[in-house]
Each structure stands twice: as C-alpha cells, then as structure tokens.
Structure 1
C-alpha cells in the first residue's frame, strides 16, 4: 500500500496498468492525446506488481487496472475517467494538478 501511495504522488498523473490490458491502453492513449505525459507503472512487468494490484483493489479499484491517480488522489478505473472526460471535468482536474497548461 505504501509503495502505491508513494508512486501515485510522484507525478501529476500516474497510471497503474498492465501491458496486455486493452482498457489500460485506451486510458494511456486518452492522456497522451490530451497532451499529458503520465507516469505509467506496468504491474505485469514489476516484481512487486501483484502486491500493488492487491493494494489497488483494497483502495476500491475493481478491476485493479487501469487505476488512475491525478494529483496524488485516486480517480478510478476507465469508467470513472471517461465519465469525467465526457462531462468536462477531467481537463480542469488535470490543469489543477499541473498536468496540462492549456
């Protein structure tokens, strides 16, 4: 849990992902297209990935990936990020966190 919290606070946008997950790919693509350069942690490529996955699930991430943190706070999985994007809340949130300057 401490590792997840530490990693989640190291950059304005942090995505916990799996390299084989299509939803993770879609979320990463969304942020790149918005001009945001997130820190990405591929759980399937990290020796502590399974432990971090359990920590994300204990925080309420279901499914565990993708898990998006903005400004050190858990935003949630794909459905939550897409809802914020569609209702116009995501970009102001990214600006407030210092992830974009448009």
Structure 2
C-alpha cells in the first residue's frame, strides 16, 4: 500500500512538498482529522505543511486500496478512507492512527527531532 500511495503522491505533484518540508499532512479538503493531526503536532511545536487533495484523488486511492484488499480476499477490513497521511522528514508515517500510536509509544518526539522539526 505504501508503494501505491507514493505513486499517487508523485502523480499529484507532491514529492517536492514532501521532500522539502519537515512535516507534511496530506488530507481531504475540509476534514476534521487534518485539524486533529495538525493540533497534535503543533502542541509539540512542530508546524506542519498542510496539503489538501481533491475528492477525486481520495476516491481513487480508496478504490485502489479496497480493490487490493478484495483481491487478497480480505473483506473484513475494507475502509472508507485513510486520509490524512502524515510525512515526517520526507518519510511516510501513515495515517492519524499511526501518528497517535507513535506519539503514545514515545517515538514521535525523537522522530521530529531527527527531522529537525523541533529542537527540544
């Protein structure tokens, strides 16, 4: 899935943004989850670059993700969407759930320091 997402990010023209910013949130236009991810990072004094993608992009990515799961006969885990997607230091972290997970486990602050997004 990560490869599929990176191809789509490249097609959308986001590679320079992802590689040129310390922290990037790619999300659906007007999605509250973008704000949740942004607030979490801002409370840690990391100020992300926000990029909102079109509904067509979201629909295409969701369709591809669900198609892959269907082909693997993994019907129990079909999803509606996996946005926002967070990048730190040019590396894909994942969605909001992964961001929260690495924060709870204490890995987020060292990751932000390594990316020079914070100087605590």
Return the alpha-carbon distance in structure 2 between the equivalents of residues 4 and 26 of structure 1: 21
2:46 matched residue in structure 1: 36
Q: With a CA cutoff of 8 Å and minimum separation of 6, indicate the structure with the bigger relative contact order.
A: 1
Q: CA RMSD in A?
A: 2.3
Moved over 6 A (4+): 55-59
Which stretch shows the higher mean deviation, 79-88 or 30-39?
30-39
Q: Could you tell me how far apart the structure 2 residues matched to 1:98 and 1:57 are? A: 35
Tell me if 1:18 matches 2:28: yes
TM-score (norm 2): 0.68
Judging by fraction of residues, say which structure has more helix. 2
Cα distance change of structure 1 residues 75 and 34 upon mapping to structure 2, 3 Å threshold: same
Q: TM-score, normalised by structure 1?
A: 0.79
TM-superposed deviation, 1:32: 1.0
| Partner-residue secondary structure (3-state), 1:32 | helix
User: Considering only CA atoms, is the larger Rg found in Structure 1 or Structure 2?
Assistant: 2
Query: Is the counterpart of residue 100 in structure 1 residue 118 in structure 2?
Result: yes
In the other structure, the counterpart of 2:74 is: none
- C-alpha deviation, 1:76, in angstroms: 0.3
Partner residue of 1:67 out of 75, 78, 85 = 85
8 Å CA contact 1:56–1:67 kept in 2: the answer is no
* Structure 2 spans left out of the alignment, 5+ residues: 1-6, 66-78
Structure 1 unmatched runs, 5+: none
